[in-house]
Amino acid sequence: MPHERIDLRKYLVVSIWFGCNKDCSICMLAGLKESLPPLRCDQYRRLLRRVAAEGHFRNLILSGAEVTMLDDLDEYVRFAASLRCFDRIQIQTNGRRLSDRRYLEGLIDCGVNEFFISIHGREEVHDGITRRPGSFRQTVAGLENLSAFDSVRVISNTVLSKRNCRDIPPLLAFLSQKRIDEFHLWNFFPLEGADDRDLVVSLEEFAGLLPRACAAVRPSGRPLVLKGFPECLPAEEPACFDSGFPVTVLPDLFWRKFGQGGFGACPRRGECRAKECWGLSGAYIRRYGDERDRLHPL
């Protein structure tokens, strides 16, 4: 039976908290975290009441930097569940606090039934990216705890960068042994508009990596979802390009910074029928060029 894909376009993301217990070198928010205000509970309640009344979204994602660092996260989840309008309530998290079985059970009891877990490499690579020794073991312990809950859906989230490029196939082989419904591999997009951190992977290197990534995932029978990559690149099953992104509620400061990234650039844009493709970022083009000989209109 074909796997039912998770369509993020049916979700609303509400970013509620910007504290974090890691210091990831690949963090898109980077230095913005300290400047972004949290969404107070009264603001959040007003927003969700309006969302419920309008009825446009069936699924909710609670996000930020690391929402499990918010002391009253359970209150936010309970309120969303009380509206009885969301089929899925997802938590985006690095998974470290889920290593505490009682904490995880509390979130599920409140109404969380989907987890989006960030893991960016095997132990040495992941801990190097997060700059927190032991974070890999905590995240894996969280994944192990989640395996006990059949009603909960789990998505793994890995951001491709120069720090983990070679580790992607063995990481995916490792994750394929876990109870994970989908494996997401996201392209790294620096908000700065330049690759100052030397993290952006070239399309040539990505194309060489992809067959090995697919081979690692294929025995599991679950999809490898490629997010934020040009959709005209060749990909074989179980990989699929999906640039559909959810509507996201974030402070205006983030969107002003986001607008400087030059996302969606492509020399073939006028000829292509792809409607959601993210093309290339300004940072990518500055480092590698516009790839006009590699990209082909759909």
Residue found under tokens 């927003």: 47
What does 85-135 look like in DSSP terms, one character per residue? --SEEEEEE-SSGGGSHHHHHHHHHHT--EEEEE--SSHHHHHHHHT-TTH
Q: How does strand 114-118 pair with strand 182-187?
A: unpaired
- Where in the chain are the domains? 8-262
Q: What is the mean pLDDT of residues 103-117?
A: 98
In this predicted structure, what is the pLDDT of residue 3? 55
Q: What DSSP state is assigned to residue 65?
A: S
Question: What is the distance of C-alpha 164 from the center of its chain?
Answer: 16
Query: d(Cα 284, Cα 264) in Å, to the nearest integer?
Result: 11
Contact indicator for 217, 183 with CB cutoff of 8 Å: yes
Closest CA to 158 of 146, 177, 174, 145: 174
- The residues, any chain, with a CB within 8 Å of residue 28's CB and separated by 6 or more, are 189, 190, 191
pLDDT at residue 2, rounded to an integer: 44
Global pTM? 0.94
Q: Which two tokens stand for residue 105?
A: 């059970």
Q: Is the pLDDT of residue 285 over 70?
A: yes
pLDDT digits (tens, 9 = 90+) for 119-129: 999 999 999 99
DSSP 194: S
Pairwise CA distance, residues 16 & 34, whole Å: 13
Over residues 1-26, the pLDDT tens digits come to 345 688 888 999 999 999 898 889 99
Give per-residue pLDDT as tens, 41-61: 999 999 999 999 999 999 999
Q: Is domain 8-262 annotated with CATH 3.40.50.720?
A: no
Residue with token string 């928010």: 29
- In angstroms, the CA 245 to CA 164 distance is 24
> Contact, 61 vs 104, CB < 8 A?
no
Phi-psi region of 110 (alpha: psi -120 to 50; beta: other; left: phi over 0): alpha
